[in-house]
Chains A and B, each alone.
Chain A
Amino acid sequence: DADVTQTPRNRITKTGKRIMLECSQTKGHDRMYWYRQDPGLGLQLIYYSFDVKDINKGEISDGYSVSRQAQAKFSLSLESAIPNQTALYFCATSDPGTGTSGEQFFGPGTRLTVL
């Protein structure tokens, strides 16, 4: 089974709708991240969480919110989706305490289309 899972894998929605993307991990890592990927722009950090009580904005947090329900779960919400939020979204985890030096482990991604 995959260590980092994302649901749904694909989603098509309409402008103005509220959307939640979910991420679960079985790696036991404290740190979790949400990125969006757009062609030619690489990965941009939306939000990150270093533990259940610690949530931090990334470089492109406007229009997004997150919830860290448990160590293993980190959800990303689009309160009112707009077309320029059409992108591929990745969840990732890391655990600096295991000597992995910041290495992040990625989920398979969620492809979101906002019409």
Chain B
Amino acid sequence: AQSVTQLGSHVSVSEGALVLLRCNYSSSVPPYLFWYVQYPNQGLQLLLKYTSAATLVKGINDFEAEFKKSETSFHLTKPSAHMSDAAEYFCAVSSNQAGTALIFGKGTTLSVSS
């Protein structure tokens, strides 16, 4: 069975500050991991994904995430927050086995203040 835990339902940062959104997963098989972003009144957009290649994954808008198997983590970071980064962020896990769907975390809302 697979599961995802996002630590912190709400994170607040100042513009220009480091963004760190935490995600821990549980999987009995090698996982694929994803971060999606949802801007207000919009659908979900893929930020980045880990598919067993490089452990440090770079995504859109200067976001990146590092897969750490020993810590079962896939935390999302961005060096300098912009006001436009304010959104809800979802971590998700799937496996490389046929017939599996994505399992989503409960989401983290990021607020950015000026």
Contact = CB atoms under 8 A, between A and B. Distances in A.
Interface size range on A against B: 20 to 34
Given A42-B6, A92-B44, A106-B36, 19 more contacts: A33-B101, A35-B104, A40-B9, A40-B106, A41-B106, A42-B105, A50-B99, A90-B43, A90-B44, A96-B98, A101-B32, A101-B94, A102-B32, A102-B94, A102-B96, A103-B46, A104-B102, A105-B46, A108-B42
A44 to B, nearest CB: 8
A38 to B, nearest CB: 10
A75 to B, nearest CB: 18
Interface residues of B, number: 25
Interface of A: 4, 33, 35, 40-45, 48, 50, 58, 90, 92, 96, 101-109
A66 to B, nearest CB: 14
Sorted nearest first, the 5 A-B pairs with minimum C-beta distance are A102-B94, A42-B106, A101-B51, A106-B43, A106-B44
Interface in B66-87: none
14 contacts: A33-B102, A40-B106, A41-B106, A42-B106, A42-B107, A48-B101, A50-B99, A101-B32, A101-B51, A103-B49, A104-B102, A106-B44, A106-B45, A108-B42
Interface of B: 6, 9, 32, 34, 36, 42-46, 49, 51, 90, 94-96, 98-102, 104-107
A78 B74 CA distance: 36
